[in-house]
Structure 1
Amino acid sequence: FADPSQAYDEQEASQEEERDGQYFEPVVPLPDLVDVSTGEENEQVLFSHRAKLYRYDKDLSQWKERGIGDLKILQHYETKSSNCAQTIGSLPI
């Protein structure tokens, strides 16, 4: 009997040889690459901690939990001004 792993390796090698000579034109032209910036490139993180964000509901006169995320206090390298930012999941607050 033949070793099944050896048969698989031979089949995989033959598929790679078939793919080497093929080239297909793209159906849809892709846009140029875009530099994605977070806005925190020129800032130093002074403090970072996991925190809960609450909002006050006036109708019920109580605090409601909005979510849990990272709270950051940032300082700009050149102007030395501080900024406070919190993100919940991928949504900045």
Structure 2
Amino acid sequence: MFMDKNEILAKLPGMFVEPGLRQEMAHNSKFLRIGKGDMIVREGQYLDFLPIVLTGEIRVFQQKEDREILLYYVRAGQTCMMSLSAAYFNNTSVRME
């Protein structure tokens, strides 16, 4: 579900406080509300975006055979380092939900 960008940024005191950064984020970002269990990025997907968590947390993991391997959590104000690397080097990503 898409959300109003400026309204979201206005509710984030202490995060992304530089006015120019907030303006760029509001202009160039897509703000989504993700529910528990929703898949954000599938393993092996090429990324053309960088997820930044504003509230809550996301789980980053890999699937090996029939097991999930938890890599880490991404919390408010953070982004997934593996997604950042994948986007920068045009590689595929791990799974996030």
Q: What's the TM-score, normalizing by structure 1?
A: 0.29
Structure of larger gyration radius: 1
Higher helix share: 2
Q: Which structure carries more relative contact order (alpha carbon 8 Å, separation 6+)? A: 2
Q: What's the TM-score, normalizing by structure 2?
A: 0.28
